[in-house]
RNA sequence: GGGCGCAUAGCUCAGUUGGCUAGAGCGCUGCCGUCACAUGGCAGAGGUCACAGGUUCGAGUCCUGUUGCGCCCA
């Protein structure tokens, strides 16, 4: 074995051993047959947009630690790997890449598609290639890190098995009325031209302005709506300040807006009913400049009163408000709500690219055609310019633009294209997550102790319905517990989920839109299609729903959702067969077979369809992510999953064995996006299947976020990101894993100082040295131990009774037992730092610093000691394996061939194989090995050694010099009984009862004075005095503290008796110590 | 604006029901080329536990408030 541990040579070999042994393969049948308990984890599928970063490394290290530990504990263990197609993110990446390569980007392919070519298909193929590349890279990264996933089962959210789950889920929700079509304001990204979910919008501070615009006031006389209202008229009606304006001039209202360009779509001006001006303007309208649209002045509580008229002073909104609010229902979410309340028209004045357009619902353009075709930015400038140039009415003073005040406000930006999001009215698909069948199930999943009163009060139905230990409700627990609140609050304010995206990369929505010919009901079309489906062998695989209801039959629309590929083909064929002209017969009768029955059905359906179109949109990425616990397990059709080209065909047992999973390990930012939705879907669908009604995981562990040394997020743009592969290259995978494990505390952020590696220039962190050093320590300790075992082989024999062992051996076994317990409880409570610290202390402090040093001289004489050494090293390797799998596997391979002998109480848990360390058992140390007496005895010995070492150091005694300990009485006989521990560890040549003859140095131990001699040729009495005086000062300080405590009657009366006794004993001891130190000082003269 | 978190040694962090003379690693100082490991050993210095009140016999820990930093959601 080499002197220093070399991860580069060990890691690939260990990996090879695991994979050839099939060490990571899970066998669901063993669980179903009751041979083993299940332990399963689903990987949060990384996006295929980029290589993994340190946050992924942390998350996956944690999952691997849990997986490996439970595998060794005898659980049938599944860690399911996979990646996410990350719809918009990936599509954008590919678009950018194409543009960077000088190609046209997605726009080119959109043109092709419009021209009737396969632009969409070609583009998706390119994305597929991109995905393949990154998927391979991510897989490589995870494997290099040592992730013990069952790689045979690797999934991708868009592969066939996942696609089947998506189709099934969509169909059922559609059928059950939980998916609907809605015209809503969405967060529209004008660059990628897609709707964004609320959580895909990032708020950014923007330096903008409040623009104060004047709208002339008009009234209706004899049907003419454009008659100006004058100030004097308003004044007569009690309008405050009306007299400040010229009497006969036209009055106006001033609205304040940050987005003047949206005025084109205004359909009302609103004011608060409490506004003192409300009565005087009631019944009047205003006329939009240039557009000429007459819009009403309405009253709504939403409007903030200006300070002048009762608004709160200091409230920024009240300070800015004029009391009049322009209402643009089609371009602002709040205005949309007002519009709903007052039944206002929604006028969309923009094209999908956010340029001003009269092609998307705006008709009364009037003089505003100057704005057509302008981008929203240009339109804003132009609106300001036009308003500035005009006045309220001809000849009146002042322009329509009253003022511009700078204003910093936060604006939603697309997380992909980073442009401001445009609230945009469009038709989208929604999932009714606010339904109790979904929301309620997610709320009820939470452990009752983690629910809070306000939420339970707000949602009385969300109280858990069942409470048995294995119950369906209340069985999901968050670690750390505080994150339960994030989860809970999210559901309290849940809005329906917009699930459609105007993208090409994703699961296409399996719906055909049908415009009906004639006036008929949903069920009529359903019946006709059922008959057709029947004739085509796909009965029941189509579901019809009204998706747009309108008084006019011609404006109605039906959605036909297809349940299967077959049904999809049927609809496609129907579309192909429909002739352009209504009266012509089918142009492709061949598509439906030749039976008269089918032809009749086709003709019937055809007669009902005016036009049909496949929905062009795809589903939000999170829709397939939400199905991850189901799709990875082959749901809904395990038979179909088995028949694919999968390397394993045990899907039928998979779901039964491993859903619900044991724990989900993830970052806090996706508690809402992902955890919640998986919970809803898992419970909803599996309950329908009568499988179970459980949440998809028992525990949810939320790990910390890694920030750089300055507390900033790691990101590409800041250049502070760290690539796990770089760390593995310089430090080794185990070193990285150990450091990450040790950093994983229960706080929400952890910091990792980042600096460039002086050699490679790549980002690294000194933190990883900790892990590297630990591995090196393990390597050398093992090397040393094994060489000693070669020289002093374990002799065969019956099991050793620990009671027969020497003090240090019993102590070491006790420490291992202690560590095993600490590690077990750390794992159960997801306290990963505690795990790492327990390993560090066990290996470095206990085993290396004390045990190995202690046994050096005795190993050859003590016939039991080699067996203990062998056994302890074995246990340490096993306990360390989940954190540092590679090095422990390498060492274990060598240790395994060294003979061993059983020690009573030391065993390993049973596993299905012992071929590698990875597969073999977790240490099982009987609690009786925790030996208080040995720990106390050895601790005394160590304390004495430390005291002697301190004397040696303060007197500058060279380490090589052997000295003499003068220890009469009890201590002397103890030291002799411990022989040769003190002698070895403190380099003492001789222990004697006699007093020193020559120069000596005194030290105090347990209240008595002892002496050391032969320290050097001359003893430095100054150093001794200094040391003793410091010791005296420390003692005085603690004595006065203890006395102070005991002199406090409150303490002696109220504190627990054992504590008071303890304090008294401590005080007595300290006083004795002090006397001895004083005596030593006196004798120094 | 709402929610959550953090503030302890020069740095990164532990400190789980209040009982502590407040710990670890790195860094720092001194000694050590020793036959497992210098990616190491031994010894040492270093802290008004952000601030101000309160509860208690006793507060780093619990409560209230203040300040600063960070994250999430509007």
Backbone angles phi, psi at A446, to 5 degrees: -70, 140
Question: Facing residues of A427 across strands?
Answer: A183
Which CATH number do you get for residue A342? 3.90.740.10
Q: What are the start-end ranges of the H helices in A881-1006?
A: 885-895, 932-954, 969-978, 981-986
Most confident of A663-667, A719-723, A900-904: A900-904
Which CATH number do you get for residue A1043? 1.10.287.380
Helix (H, G, I), strand (E, B) or coil at A929: helix
Nucleic strand B near CB of residue A750 (< 7 Å)? yes
Instruction: For chain A, give percent helix, strand, coil, nearest 5.
Output: 45, 20, 35
Above 60 in pLDDT, residue A348? yes
Contact A536, A592 (CB under 8 A): yes
**Stretch among A244-248, A267-271, A339-343, A1018-1022 having the lowest mean pLDDT:** A1018-1022
**What is the radius of gyration, based on Cα positions, of chain A?**
39
pLDDT in tens, A521-554: 889 989 988 888 888 888 889 999 988 877 666 6
Residue nearest to nucleotide B5 (CA to C1'): A748
Residue A1055's domain spans which residues?
1020-1085
**Stretch among A672-686, A726-740, A811-825, A1050-1064 having the lowest mean pLDDT:** A1050-1064
Residue nearest to nucleotide B43 (CA to C1'): A953
User: CA distances (Å), A455 to each of A436, A466, A720, A765, A783, in order?
Assistant: 14, 18, 40, 43, 59
Query: What is the helix (H) or strand (E) element at residue A816, kind and residue range?
Result: helix A807-828
Which CATH number do you get for residue A811? 1.10.730.10
When pLDDT is cut at 50, 70 and 90, the band that residue A584 belongs to is low
Can you give the pLDDT at residue A1052? 87
Above 80 in pLDDT, residue A936? yes
SS (H, E, C) A387-401: HHHCECCCCCCCECE
Can you give the pLDDT at residue A78? 98
Last residue of a domain, one of A599, A614, A629: A614
Most confident of A95-99, A205-209, A357-361, A870-874: A870-874
Contact A187, A412 (CB under 8 A): yes
Tokens of A28: 């669901």
User: CA distances (Å), A959 to each of A581, A732, A748, in order?
Assistant: 104, 35, 46
Tokens of A772: 């590297």
User: Which positions of chain B lie under 7 Å from any protein Cβ?
Assistant: 3-6, 11-16, 19, 21, 24-26, 30-32, 34, 36-45, 56-58, 69-74
Above 80 in pLDDT, residue A582? no
- E-strand ranges in A518-587 read 542-548, 557-562
Q: Is A1000 or A149 the better-scoring residue by pLDDT?
A: A149
Distance CA A888, CA A734 (A): 9
Please tell me whether residues A1030 and A1067 are part of one structural domain. yes
A533 occurs within a structural domain: yes
Query: Nearest nucleotide by C1' from A712 CA?
Result: B70
Q: Report the mean per-residue pLDDT for chain A.
A: 89
Please tell me whether residues A835 and A729 are part of one structural domain. no
A567 occurs within a structural domain: yes
A192-200 mean pLDDT: 75
Distance CA A807, CA A88 (A): 65
Query: Nearest nucleotide by C1' from A748 CA?
Result: B5
pLDDT in tens, A820-859: 999 999 999 999 999 999 999 999 999 999 999 999 999 9
Above 60 in pLDDT, residue A581? no
Q: What are the start-end ranges of the H helices in A315-357?
A: 316-320, 333-342
A998-1015 mean pLDDT: 88
Please tell me whether residues A317 and A340 are part of one structural domain. yes
Tokens of A859: 């190993």
Can you give the pLDDT at residue A717? 66
DSSP A304: P
Nucleic strand B near CB of residue A8 (< 7 Å)? no
Helix (H, G, I), strand (E, B) or coil at A844: helix
A459 occurs within a structural domain: no
Above 90 in pLDDT, residue A867? yes
- Ramachandran region, residue A201 (left: φ > 0; alpha: ψ -120 to 50; beta: rest): beta
Distance CA A744, CA A767 (A): 13
Above 60 in pLDDT, residue A467? no
Tokens of A503: 């993208």
Query: Nearest nucleotide by C1' from A489 CA?
Result: B3
Above 60 in pLDDT, residue A943? yes
Percentage of chain A with pLDDT > 90? 50
A650-655 mean pLDDT: 92
Please tell me whether residues A626 and A597 are part of one structural domain. no
A341 occurs within a structural domain: yes
Nucleic strand B near CB of residue A575 (< 7 Å)? no
Q: How many structural domains are present in chain A?
A: 5
Give the CA A1020 to C1' B33 distance in Å.
Answer: 26
Last residue of a domain, one of A694, A723, A756: A756
Q: In what order do the strands lie in the sheet with A422-431?
A: A194-196, A179-189, A422-431, A497-498
- E-strand ranges in A118-267 read 155-156, 179-189, 194-196, 201-221, 224-228, 252-257
Buried b (16+ CB within 10 A) or exposed e, A588-610: eeebbeeeeebbebbeebbebbe
Provide residues 629-688 of A with CB closer than 7 Å to any strand B atom. Answer: 668-669, 672
A113 occurs within a structural domain: no
Please tell me whether residues A925 and A1045 are part of one structural domain. no
Percentage of chain A with pLDDT > 70? 96
Query: Nearest nucleotide by C1' from A766 CA?
Result: B26
pLDDT in tens, A1026-1053: 888 888 888 888 888 888 888 888 888 8
pLDDT in tens, A658-713: 999 999 999 888 888 899 999 999 999 999 999 998 999 999 999 888 887 777 77
- DSSP string across A93-107: HHHHHHHHTTS-THH
Cα torsion for A732, A735, A737, A743, to the nearest 10°? Answer: -140
Can you give the pLDDT at residue A176? 95
Nucleic strand B near CB of residue A1071 (< 7 Å)? no
Please tell me whether residues A155 and A233 are part of one structural domain. no
Contact A814, A929 (CB under 8 A): yes
Above 70 in pLDDT, residue A166? yes
Give the CA A961 to C1' B22 distance in Å.
Answer: 36
**Stretch among A495-509, A593-607, A1042-1056 having the lowest mean pLDDT:** A593-607
Contact A694, A682 (CB under 8 A): yes
Can you give the pLDDT at residue A135? 95
Please tell me whether residues A910 and A837 are part of one structural domain. yes
Question: Facing residues of A408 across strands?
Answer: A207
DSSP A799: P
Above 70 in pLDDT, residue A585? no
Please tell me whether residues A703 and A560 are part of one structural domain. no
Reported ipTM exceeds the 0.90 cut: yes
A745-773 mean pLDDT: 86
Contact A622, A628 (CB under 8 A): no
Can you give the pLDDT at residue A470? 55
Query: Nearest nucleotide by C1' from A826 CA?
Result: B16
Please tell me whether residues A723 and A768 are part of one structural domain. no
Residue nearest to nucleotide B32 (CA to C1'): A959
Distance CA A513, CA A560 (A): 6
Please tell me whether residues A149 and A18 are part of one structural domain. yes
Please tell me whether residues A144 and A230 are part of one structural domain. no
Backbone angles phi, psi at A321, to 5 degrees: -70, 145
Distance CA A842, CA A820 (A): 10
Distance CA A805, CA A807 (A): 7
CA-based max dimension of chain A: 129
CA-based nearest residue to A642, from A630, A654, A627: A654
pLDDT in tens, A234-292: 999 989 888 888 888 899 999 999 899 999 999 999 998 888 898 899 989 999 999 99
Distance CA A937, CA A373 (A): 89
A870-874 mean pLDDT: 97
Contact A812, A843 (CB under 8 A): no
Nucleic strand B near CB of residue A776 (< 7 Å)? yes
Backbone angles phi, psi at A1011, to 5 degrees: -130, 150
pLDDT in tens, A300-332: 888 888 878 877 666 667 777 888 999 998 998
Nucleic strand B near CB of residue A751 (< 7 Å)? yes
Most confident of A22-36, A242-256, A565-579, A1020-1034: A22-36
**Stretch among A767-776, A805-814, A956-965 having the lowest mean pLDDT:** A956-965
A337-342 mean pLDDT: 83
A88 occurs within a structural domain: no
Can you give the pLDDT at residue A147? 97
Provide residues 375-404 of A with CB closer than 7 Å to any strand B atom. Answer: none
pLDDT in tens, A87-146: 888 888 888 888 888 888 888 888 888 888 888 899 999 999 999 999 999 999 999 999
Contact A817, A930 (CB under 8 A): yes
Above 70 in pLDDT, residue A1005? yes
Please tell me whether residues A308 and A407 are part of one structural domain. yes
Cβ neighbour number for residue A792 with a 10 Å cutoff: 18
User: CA distances (Å), A186 to each of A258, A374, A424, A501, A1041, in order?
Assistant: 19, 22, 5, 11, 67
Tokens of A541: 């695989």
Last residue of a domain, one of A419, A437, A457: A419
Query: Nearest nucleotide by C1' from A829 CA?
Result: B16
When pLDDT is cut at 50, 70 and 90, the band that residue A642 belongs to is confident
Can you give the pLDDT at residue A646? 82
Above 90 in pLDDT, residue A427? no
Q: Is the dihedral of CA A390, A392, A398, A404 positive or negative?
A: negative
CB contact set of A710 (below 8 Å; sequence gap of 6+):
none
A489 occurs within a structural domain: no
A119 occurs within a structural domain: no
A1011-1030 mean pLDDT: 81
Can you give the pLDDT at residue A469? 53
């Amino acid at each position: 074995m080499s002197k220093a541990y070399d991860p580069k040579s060990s890691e690939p070999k260990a990996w090879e051993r695991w994979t050839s042994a099939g060490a990571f393969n899970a066998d669901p049948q063993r669980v179903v047959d009751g041979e083993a308990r299940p332990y399963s984890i689903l990987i949060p599928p990384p996006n295929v947009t980029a290589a993994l970063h340190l946050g992924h490394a942390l998350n996956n290290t944690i999952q691997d630690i849990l997986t490996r530990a439970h595998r060794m504990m005898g659980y049938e263990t599944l860690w399911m790997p996979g990646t996410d197609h990350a719809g918009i993110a990936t599509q954008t990446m590919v678009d950018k890449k194409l543009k960077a390569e000088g190609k046209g980007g997605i726009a080119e392919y959109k043109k092709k598609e419009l021209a009737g070519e396969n632009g969409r298909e070609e583009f998706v193929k390119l994305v597929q290639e991109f995905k393949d590349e990154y998927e391979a890279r991510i897989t490589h990264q995870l494997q290099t890190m040592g992730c013990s996933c069952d790689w045979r089962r690797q999934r991708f959210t868009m592969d066939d098995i996942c696609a089947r789950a998506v189709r099934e889920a969509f169909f059922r929700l559609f059928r059950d009325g939980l998916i609907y079509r809605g015209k809503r304001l969405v967060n529209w990204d004008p660059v990628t031209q897609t709707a964004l979910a609320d959580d895909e919008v990032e708020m950014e501070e923007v330096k903008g302005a409040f623009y104060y615009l004047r709208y002339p006031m008009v009234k209706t006389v004899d049907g003419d709506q454009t008659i100006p209202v004058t100030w004097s008229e308003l004044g007569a009606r009690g309008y405050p300040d009306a007299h400040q304006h010229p009497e006969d001039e036209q009055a106006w209202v001033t609205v304040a807006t940050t987005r003047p360009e949206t005025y084109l779509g205004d359909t009302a001006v609103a004011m608060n009913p409490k506004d003192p001006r409300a009565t005087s303007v009631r019944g009047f309208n205003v006329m939009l400049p240039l557009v000429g649209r007459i819009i009403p002045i309405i009253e709504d509580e939403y409007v903030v009163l200006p300070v002048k008229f009762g608004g709160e002073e200091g409230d920024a909104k009240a300070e800015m408000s004029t009391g009049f609010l322009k209402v643009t229902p089609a371009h602002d979410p709040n205005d949309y709500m007002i519009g709903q309340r007052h039944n206002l028209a929604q006028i969309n004045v923009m094209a999908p690219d956010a340029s001003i357009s009269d092609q998307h619902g705006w008709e009364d353009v009037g003089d505003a055609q100057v704005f057509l075709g302008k981008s929203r930015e240009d339109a804003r400038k132009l609106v300001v310019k036009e308003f500035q140039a005009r006045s309220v009415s001809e000849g009146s003073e002042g322009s329509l633009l009253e003022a511009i005040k700078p204003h910093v406000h936060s604006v939603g930006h697309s997380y992909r294209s980073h442009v401001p999001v445009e609230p945009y009215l469009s038709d989208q698909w929604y999932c009714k997550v606010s339904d109790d069948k979904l929301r309620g199930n997610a709320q009820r999943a939470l452990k009752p102790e983690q629910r809070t009163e306000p939420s339970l009060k707000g949602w009385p139905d969300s109280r858990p319905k069942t409470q048995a230990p294995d119950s369906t409700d209340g069985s999901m627990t968050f670690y750390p517990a505080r994150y339960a609140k994030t989860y809970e609050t999210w559901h309290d304010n849940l809005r329906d989920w917009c699930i459609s995206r105007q993208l090409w990369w994703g699961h296409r929505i399996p719906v055909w839109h049908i415009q009906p010919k004639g006036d008929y009901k949903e069920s009529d079309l359903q019946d006709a299609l059922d008959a057709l489906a029947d004739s085509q062998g796909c009965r029941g695989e189509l579901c019809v729903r009204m998706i747009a209801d309108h008084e006019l039959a011609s404006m109605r629309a039906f959605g036909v959702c297809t349940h299967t590929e077959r049904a999809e083909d049927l609809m496609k064929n129907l579309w192909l067969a429909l002739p352009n002209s209504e009266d012509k017969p089918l142009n492709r009768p061949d598509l439906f077979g030749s039976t008269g029955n089918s032809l009749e059905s086709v003709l019937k359906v055809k007669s009902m369809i005016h036009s049909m179109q496949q929905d062009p949109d795809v589903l939000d990425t999170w829709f397939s992510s939400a199905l991850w616990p189901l799709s990875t397990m082959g749901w809904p059709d395990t038979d179909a999953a088995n028949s694919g080209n999968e390397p394993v065909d045990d899907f039928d047992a998979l779901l039964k064995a491993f859903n619900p999973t044991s724990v989900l390990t993830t970052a806090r930012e996706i508690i809402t996006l992902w955890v919640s939705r998986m919970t809803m879907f898992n419970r909803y669908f599996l309950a329908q299947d009568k499988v179970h009604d459980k949440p998809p995981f028992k525990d949810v562990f939320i790990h910390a976020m890694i920030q750089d040394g300055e507390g900033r997020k790691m990101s590409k743009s800041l250049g502070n990101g760290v690539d796990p592969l770089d760390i593995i290259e310089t430090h080794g995978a185990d070193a990285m894993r150990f450091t990450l494990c040790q950093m994983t505390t229960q706080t929400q952020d952890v910091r990792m100082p980042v600096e460039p590696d002086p050699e490679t220039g790549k980002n690294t962190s000194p933190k990883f040295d900790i892990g590297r050093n630990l591995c090196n320590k393990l390597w050398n300790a093992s090397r040393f131990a094994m060489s000693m075992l070669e020289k002093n082989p374990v002799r065969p024999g019956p099991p050793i009774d620990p009671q027969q062992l020497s003090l240090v051996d019993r102590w070491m076994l006790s420490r291992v037992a202690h560590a095993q317990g600490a590690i077990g409880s750390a794992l159960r409570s997801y306290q990963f730092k505690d795990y790492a610290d327990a390993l560090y202390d066990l290996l470095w402090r206990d085993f290396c610093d004390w045990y190995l040093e202690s046994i050096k001289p005795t190993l050859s004489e003590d016939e039991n000691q080699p067996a203990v050494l062998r056994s302890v090293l074995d246990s340490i390797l096993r306990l360390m394996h989940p954190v540092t799998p590679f090095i422990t596997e390498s060492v274990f391979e060598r240790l395994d061939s060294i003979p061993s002998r059983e020690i009573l109480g030391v065993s390993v848990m049973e596993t299905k194989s012992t071929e590698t360390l990875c597969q073999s058992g977790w240490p099982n140390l009987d609690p009786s090995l925790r030996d208080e007496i040995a720990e106390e005895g050895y601790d005394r010995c160590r304390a004495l050694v430390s005291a002697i070492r301190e004397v040696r150091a303060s007197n500058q005694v060279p380490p090589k010099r052997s000295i003499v300990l003068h220890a009469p009485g009890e201590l002397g006989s103890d030291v002799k009984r411990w022989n040769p521990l003190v002698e070895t560890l403190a380099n003492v040549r001789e222990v004697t009862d006699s007093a020193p003859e020559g120069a000596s140095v005194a030290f105090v131990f347990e209240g008595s004075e002892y002496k050391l001699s032969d320290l050097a040729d001359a003893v430095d009495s100054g150093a001794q005095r200094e040391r003793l005086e410091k010791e005296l000062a420390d003692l005085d300080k603690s004595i006065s503290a203890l006395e102070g405590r005991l002199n406090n009657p409150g303490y002696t009366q109220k504190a627990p008796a054992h504590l008071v006794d303890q304090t008294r004993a401590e005080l007595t001891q300290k006083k004795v110590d002090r006397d001895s130190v004083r005596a030593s000082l006196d004798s120094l003269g």
